[in-house]
Amino acid sequence: MKSFFRDVYIQLESYYDWLVNITPKLLLAFIIMAGVWFLARSVRKTADTRLKKSMDDPLLAGFLANLLRLFILITGLLLALRILGFGGITTSILAGAGISAFVIGFALRDIGENFLAGILMAFKRPFRVGDFIETGNPPNTVKGRVVSLNIRVTQLKTPDGKDVYIPNANIIKTPLFNYTVDGFLRLDFTVSLPAGQDYSSIIAEMQGAVKMVDGVLTTNRIPGVRISGIASGRPEARVSFWIDTSTTTRKEESIKSDVILAVQRIVENYTIKQ
């Protein structure tokens, strides 16, 4: 019986010695991780601000700042593991070889794929913050303005106010339409004309009315009104106009609404004359 208690005592004493030995390391590792976390957050904020000023590319600047933050956090984690005595783990992670690395890489292939796709887009720059893009395969396409490019996803704001987070790899693999890469966006709609009228006069008045709307370009990209077809015995006109998204302070939906109202007033005036 005494031998049993002696063995228990020896075992508990070994646990106590281990706890006394590991506690300073745990405290040091915690302090390091806390310091690294605050450092990473501060560095990201500073880098984001300075890169945006020097690069004039907020999308790439934000991505690089997030990448720098991730690098600092990973470095801090590896340092904490080494302090705790898990040097073999850190060596394996850094080496990136062996069956364990293969299994982990296979399990996290989607994360790695999105990460690499984010790097490609950040440097290739198919879009900027504020650009209006469309991505995806029909009929599952998504349209919206680019809000941010993160390490794993790209954030879009749809015209109806929804925030959509699209994996970066999906954007790389599917067609991408950038409607405002040069700042110019064309909007158009179709309107039915009253029958039996002087269509040349109607088209000329429509074109003049479109030019008067605030936000519509009238110099290098002139609004166009032309007959596009016939429906129920009445001709249909296609109204097209351009806006400069980089200079105008108005939303394209508001400009298009004003253009539609201006054109509709002319159609109603000719309808009353019948």
State the Cα–Cα distance between residues 227 and 70, nearest whole angstrom.
56
What does the alpha-carbon distance between residue 28 and residue 115 come to, in Å, rounded to a whole number?
31
If you average pLDDT over every residue of the chain, what do you get? Answer: 79
Tell me which residue of 200, 191, 203, 197 sits closest to 256, measured CA to CA: 191
* 2-11, 66-75, 120-129, 262-271: range with lowest mean pLDDT: 2-11
CA atoms of 214 and 261, how far apart (whole Å): 13
CATH placement of domain 2-107? 1.10.287
CATH 3.30.70.100-classified regions of the chain: 184-273
126-174 tens-digit pLDDT:
888 888 889 988 888 898 889 988 878 899 998 888 999 999 888 988 9
Q: What would the two tokens of residue 236 be?
A: 């249909």
In this structure, which topology does domain 126-178 adopt according to CATH? Answer: SH3 type barrels. (2.30.30)
| CATH code 1.10.287 region(s) in the chain | 2-107
Cβ-contact 211, 218 below 8 angstroms = yes
Contact status, residue 57 vs residue 128, Cβ threshold 8 Å: yes
Give the pairing of strands 153-157 and 142-149: antiparallel
CATH code for the part of the protein at 184-273: 3.30.70.100
pTM of the model: 0.54
The residue whose two tokens read 């002319």 is 266
Residue-level pLDDT at 107: 45
Does the pLDDT at position 193 exceed 50? yes
**Mean pLDDT (whole number) for 92-98:** 51
112: enclosing H helix or E strand? helix 109-124
